[in-house]
Structure 1
Amino acid sequence: MHSLVQHKQTPQQQLKQQQQQQQQQQQQQQQQQQQRQQQHQRLQCQHQQLQQHKRRCARFAAIPIRPAFNAS
């Protein structure tokens, strides 16, 4: 019976625990959001590089390629 009394928490202790749990959850959520933003930025960067690459390719394609040897 004595051990049961020890296990019981005062309302204050329970409140403290709940607050700590909430803080931990909030921290986890913030970390997830930061990770998501980092991934998003990385994707945007890759996308911009792709766009530049396409533009460069298009510029090369616009240059008429002269045949290396003339048929005539």
Structure 2
Amino acid sequence: KKEVADTLHITVHYVNALEHDQYDKLPGEIFAKGYMKRYAETLALDQAEVLAAYAEVRASDTESASAGAGGAAPP
């Protein structure tokens, strides 16, 4: 992971966050997208597919958070 972090010019902490879908541990969405694009390029993956998968995960996270926040308060 250190080698990947050095290649991407990010910390090992951020590499771990990317690999484990822990996007809340990244400094912000714009950075997360940039890191994922560079990581995809490093691994010879399709950047568009990686970013599309990220968008799906983030949409799912947002829907889950909205559903949890919109519940009725107990009496």
* TM-score, length of structure 2 as denominator length: 0.40
Which of the pair has the greater relative contact order for Cα pairs under 8 Å at 6+ separation? Answer: 2
Greater fraction of residues in helix: 1
